[in-house]
Amino acid sequence: MIRKAVVLLFLFVYAAFSQDDELLKKLKALPDVAEVTPIKADSMFKAGYELRIRQPLDHAVPGGKKFLQSVYVAHISYDRPVLFETEGYSASARSGGHARELTGILKSNQIVVEHRFFGKSCPDSLEWRYLTTKQAADDHHHITRLLKNIYKGKWVSSGTSKGGQTTLFYRYYYPQDVDASVPYVAPVNLSQEDPRIITWLRTVGTPEEREKIRNFQIAMLKREKEILPLMDTLAAGRKMTFSIGTATAYEYSVLEYPCAFWQYGSLTSSIPSLDVPADSMLRHLDKVASLRYYSDQGIKAFHPFQYQAYTEIGYYGYDITDFKGLLTAVTNPTNVILAPQNVELKFNPATMYNIYTWLRDNGSNIIYIYGEKDLWSATAMELSGKTNSIKMVHKGGCHRARIRDLSPEQKATISSALQQWLNLPSSELTMVPSPAR
């Protein structure tokens, strides 16, 4: 018996290594794959690799400048579905090898794509005009065409937040590339600074909650002279600098406070009394609306996102009605201050309008996941009933809303849709139990 067990174990290990070696050979043989490096992947996977794929800087000129884009492949089996994760920002070997929620549900292979102009996926020079929804979708289309030579089963695209937006953009430009899409908490903004977000902030939560938030902002602005020296000390300790000015960065953080508060599910019980020491007030502001966001270091890290926001995908501004006379450094509160400077930022409203109308009228096999109290639910996709797509809202949820947070009834609807769209038996889907309510 012992000898038989040893033989079986040997055969299992040999088969695993053989498949790993086979996959490595297949990946290296793909056109435009410049590098293949093993990565550590979660235990559900049998192998993991980082690919560095050659992409045209401008897909309209395929023979022109190129850059290398990072793509992370986590493998289970050639006959399993593929989750194609479109990151909106950077990715890494660690995040690329980490199993996503849908990967566990589908028992699928996983492909994670770092977005162009983020992380290691940057051209030698940042020619911003090539950072568009269409160019990014072209990147994804090229990657999908390559890897479908290996994975010939059903494909599901997904992403979270800006990654969820990217999922929708990819689906719009290449609707036949995948069989279904599951964007998480993905806004569909329709203007450079979408006013629906300010309107939403005026009604979210209870009047008492909104008043407590507003009173905290007012107190922070009234105590600005007292707090700014503390902010300078904090910044020095964290090696943050503020080229826009410490006072400007501070006032922007105060204006950002309710946006960040609702987006990430803060509780009004966490708001300190307005007469506590100034350092306690500053620590709370920093915890909710990170001061780093308006530092030179934070601004630079998000330059690619803000370029996209102010040329195509939209963002938001601030309502200063309640703070007139209290703002000394910020007179025109627009987040365009966060975008690359001395760069043309001409907004093209046609991009998001066309995407929105296509999703509304033709975007089938899409499951939209939102959190009820997430700031970005203000510009959530609205369904018309013209497609079979579904929208699920986590009641009371924030930007962290996931399928695991939904009710049993909502999960059953999602499970049924995935079974139908991917032609999978129910036994092949593993839905995480809903939390106690």
Q: What's the confidence (pLDDT) of residue 1? A: 56
What is the reported pTM? 0.93
Q: What's the confidence (pLDDT) of residue 218? A: 98
Burial class (CB in 10 A: 0-12, 13-18, 19+), 71: buried
**CATH number of the structural domain 22-189+350-428:** 3.40.50.1820
- Sign of the four-CA dihedral 287, 376, 337, 331: negative
Work out whether strand 180-184 and strand 155-160 pair parallel, antiparallel, or are unpaired. parallel
What are the boundaries of each domain within the chain? 22-189+350-428, 196-338
Q: How far is CA 374 from CA 266, 288, 377, in A?
A: 10, 14, 5
For 51, list phi and psi in degrees, rounded to 5: -105, 140
DSSP assignment of 304-328 equals HHHHHIIIII-B-----GGGTTT-S
Q: What's the confidence (pLDDT) of residue 6? A: 47
Q: What's the confidence (pLDDT) of residue 428? A: 79
pLDDT mean values, one per 10 residues, the chain (437 residues): 52 51 97 98 97 98 97 98 98 97 97 98 95 98 98 98 98 98 98 97 98 98 97 96 96 98 97 96 97 96 97 96 94 91 94 98 98 98 97 98 97 97 88 65
Q: What's the confidence (pLDDT) of residue 12? A: 47
Q: What's the confidence (pLDDT) of residue 3? A: 57
